[in-house]
Amino acid sequence: MTQTAGPVVSVSRVSKRYGATRALRDVTLELRPGEVLGLIGTNGAGKSTLINVLSGVTRPTSGEIRLRGRTVELSGPLEAQDAGVQTVHQNIDDGVVFGTTVAENLTLDSLARRGAGWFTTRARTREAAREIAEAARLSVPLDAPVEALPASARQQIVIARALSRNPRLLILDEPTSTLSATESAVLLTAVRRMAASGVAVLFVSHRLSEIQDLCDRVAVLRDGTIQRVFTTPVDGPSLVTAMLGDEIEATRHEARPVGEPILLGEGMRTRPGAEPFDLRVSPGEVLGVTGLIGSGKTELLEQIYGARPLVSGALTLGDRPYRPRDPHAAIGAGVAFVAEERAAQATLPGWSVRAHVTLPRLRAHSRTGLLSRRAETGSARRVIERFGVRGPGPEAGIEALSGGNQQKVVVGRWMEGAFRLMLLDEPFRGVDVGARADISRVLREISTTTGVVVASSDPQEVLQVADRVLVLYEGTVTGELRAGEVTAERLAALMAGEGR
Amino acid sequence: MTTTVKPQVGEQVPLLDRAASIGYRYGLLAVLAVMVVVFSLARPAFGTFGNALIVLQSVAIVAVVALGVTVSMAAGGFDLSAGANVGFVVMVTASAMVRFNLTGPTAIAAGLLAGLLVAGVNVLLIVVAKVPDLVATLGTMFLFQGLALIITSGQSVSAGMTTDGVTAPGKYTSGFVWLGAGTVASVPVPVIVMALLAAAAYVFLGHTRWGRALYAIGGNPRASRLAGIRVGRYRALAYAVSGLCAAVGGILLSARLGRGDVGAGDPYLLQSVAAALIGFAVLGANKPNALGTVVGAVFVGVMISGLTMLNAPYYTQTFVQGALLVGSLVMSYTLTPGRRR
């Protein structure tokens, strides 16, 4: 869809520093009218920073941004909007006002406009909303309350409102991450229509298939730099390689005898509609699970832990059927879980290291209900020692520890019990190299007698500990590799859903 | 993402911060001590053992109810039905003895069951129907204020009353009245009950695994669930404890009044919530805690009793309590060291 018109946006040599970290380095990018540019990259690659720079939320440290040929210095989101840049953020519910109708949401902007008058009438609101809805071909009843609508419809409202401001550039930040396959298809059609009307679209996503489907070009960010810009047709594996780098190395861990399976899963699915697969976890080998963000790793682990209902199939733990009702039941059966988001799912603000260590096993630290401070401190000290937790000691608040040391605590607290199976979701995220090595070492140690499953969207992290790697692509298992035989090409192909 | 390194223990903390931290920890207790001294100097009758018991007796029921509210707050909940529960239990116990001529122990059992009934409705709404705590207990509050009126046909219950032309056969038993007016070694029974319950709540919240689990739920319910805590059950437990404490408060109040007054429980909601919230600021706990709650109740009692002795009119009491509450809220939400946002 190349047109002769000049670029809507051109970003040249833009860099952004946060202290010592360089979030963006010399990024140069152009978007033409009617073009859909895909933007893809791993966590921390710099996508958010680039979006923030374009939408006026943050100012670049150096470099130049030109909108329709004119150099601009965006000093705030409102200024970016005035210049024709509209951003629809990932969290849809930040963009709608609950407790009001669709019409009221579509016309929110007019509330803040000067000279809008003091009174709004239902008729005037409806009329304005109808125009906006028509322009965006929105097929949602205007009188419906927003909270009664599905996520996809709410998103359409947010996008329709963005379009009503006649943007030149529309930034969609992971718009499909919370949508189902059919809802995504509807959105993609809408995006194509917008592009056809001349709007430039920056489409950020982790889903390769839709990026390949939709985008005219795809820019890959890694470590703050544009690695490569692909033009259609985009080759999936090359895209993955550009995202993750090709220095992925096969890591051969020492061979150990593999014991009887601890966990067997038959006919499991990551989500309804995905293809079923079997799962085997045995002591003596760490099972790695990798795949791009949103490929179903968390769903898989949480099913085994009882944190979400089993989609399909049957599990066997040891030699007994296993179907945990909730995490409590899973822990009772000897299954441990380290959640992906430490702050939201594991730590308690203001609590000490000791209290974090003993929380999953309070009963073991108490007699007739009374907690034993000595038993608690003993456990905390053992975790601190075994993992080399650096910090002021067991009574220190968890916030006094660095991210890596906090992670050691929430991983290490499970080691005190008699666990048979340990599930870890992104255990190395936001964890420094030293802490990563400490955690890996202990995981390798315990895996001689217990089952260990480590999931990460960074295959290099998985290879650091795993003997066998399961690769997921959009909810489906695309392959299984032995860590010693992994090649970057093979991995990239499987992560891109090819080469099955 | 980058991680921020917080100052570690042993690092130099600026003097001003340390002073603020000490002030925060002991501020409320210091003010309490100063208040007692000042009132005693101004009115020698204030600083006597006898008056101390009177003050304690005046706050005992509030403190008992507040201990329950504290437990629900620890689990991140909020029991707005506590006051209505007290009123409902007063009516149930009064009716049991006066209209149905039952014995004192039976009336106590009925009162406790009534409190559990209120808790049961709360649990049904909050845990099963997933209604937010605040509005669920608000609904329960209305429900049981109304039910208390219905079971007594809207009148106060006292010995010799007539309903539909029938004179009530019973009266408050002497054993039951003893709960409100009796003493053991010159200490009023409600004060003893308060002390026992306070000790129990202190141990329960601070030193048992159940208390720890409740605080965990209050701090981060998602993390608690993933750590294997059955959040629903513990929230049910918290409301059951809260309901039982309110019931005990209701029984003591009923015994003290010697009759079932319509609306007798109404003031107890605000007073007990205030005591629990003032308790956040005691010893820098910054969370609901049993000791703080009792200190909070005593604080209010001392202030009001002192001001009364200084001839402040009774109608200033509500305002004084409100000012105390606001002051301690600012203390725990704004002035807490390390809580700058």
Q: What are phi and psi of B42, to 5 degrees?
A: -70, -40
d(CA B40, CA A202): 74
CB contact under 8 A, B3 and A392: no
Chain B residues inside the 8 Å CB shell of A359: 212, 216, 224, 227, 229
Fold (CATH) for A263-495: Rossmann fold (3.40.50)
Tokens found for residue A110: 């007019």
* Option in A331, A337, A362 nearest B213 (CB): A362
User: In chain A, where does the domain assigned CATH 3.40.50.300 lie?
Assistant: 9-244, 263-495
A-B Cβ pairs (cutoff 8 Å, strict): 90
User: Does some domain include residue B187?
Assistant: yes
CA distance A109 to chain B (A): 30
Return the pLDDT at A142. 85
Q: Per-residue confidence of chain A (500 residues) as pLDDT tens digits?
A: 444 568 888 999 999 988 877 889 999 999 999 999 999 988 778 888 899 999 888 899 999 999 888 888 888 888 888 888 999 887 777 778 888 888 888 888 766 555 556 666 777 788 888 888 887 778 788 888 888 888 788 888 888 888 888 889 999 988 887 777 788 888 888 889 889 989 999 999 888 888 888 999 999 998 889 999 999 888 888 888 888 887 776 677 888 889 999 999 999 999 888 899 999 999 999 999 999 888 899 999 999 999 999 999 999 999 999 999 999 999 999 999 999 988 889 999 989 999 999 999 999 999 999 999 999 999 999 999 998 898 889 999 998 888 889 999 999 999 878 899 999 999 998 788 888 888 999 999 999 999 999 999 888 889 889 999 999 998 999 999 998 888 888 888 999 888 65
CB contact under 8 A, B222 and A362: no
CB-CB contact of A434 with A405 (8 Å): no
d(CA A35, CA A31): 7
| Second CATH level (architecture) for the domain A9-244 | 3-Layer(aba) Sandwich (3.40)
CB atoms within 10 A of CB B38: 13
Chain B residues inside the 8 Å CB shell of A324: none
| Nearest one of B258, B263, B86 to B158, comparing CA atoms | B258
d(CA A279, CA A265): 5
Residue A202 host element (H or E)? strand A200-204
CA distance B227 to chain A (A): 5
CB-CB contact of B222 with A344 (8 Å): yes
User: Does some domain include residue B312?
Assistant: no
Chain B residues inside the 8 Å CB shell of A21: 2
Distances (CA, A) of A438 to A79, A183, A387, A458: 47, 43, 6, 18
For A50-83, b/e burial (b = at least 16 CB within 10 A) is bbbbbbbebebeebebbbbeeebebeeeeebbeb
d(CA A393, CA A409): 11
Sequence length of chain A is: 500
CA distance A69 to chain B (A): 34
Q: Show the CA angle centred on residue B128, arms to residues B123 and B130, nearest 5°.
A: 95
CB contact under 8 A, A402 and B2: no
User: Does some domain include residue B213?
Assistant: yes
**Which chain A residues have any C-beta within 8 angstroms of a chain B C-beta?**
18-19, 21, 44, 305, 307, 326-328, 330-332, 337, 339, 344-351, 355, 359-360, 362-363, 365-366, 369-371, 391-393, 396, 399-400, 402-404, 430, 432
Alpha-helix residue ranges (DSSP H) falling in A113-217: 122-135, 151-163, 181-196, 208-214
SS3 category, A65: strand
User: Does some domain include residue B242?
Assistant: yes
What's the structural domain count of chain B?
A: 1
d(CA A9, CA A386): 53
CA distance A379 to chain B (A): 15
CA distance B124 to chain A (A): 20
d(CA B140, CA B147): 10
CB contact under 8 A, B228 and A344: no
Q: Domain range spanning residue B127?
A: 49-201+208-265
Chain B residues inside the 8 Å CB shell of A17: none
Per-residue DSSP letters for B123-147? HIIIIIS---HHHHHHHHHHHHHHH
Tokens found for residue A488: 């970057």
User: Does some domain include residue B296?
Assistant: no
Distances (CA, A) of B235 to B74, B78, B221, B244: 10, 11, 10, 14
Per-residue DSSP letters for B33-44? HHHHHHHHHH-G
d(CA B228, CA A358): 11
User: Does some domain include residue B23?
Assistant: no
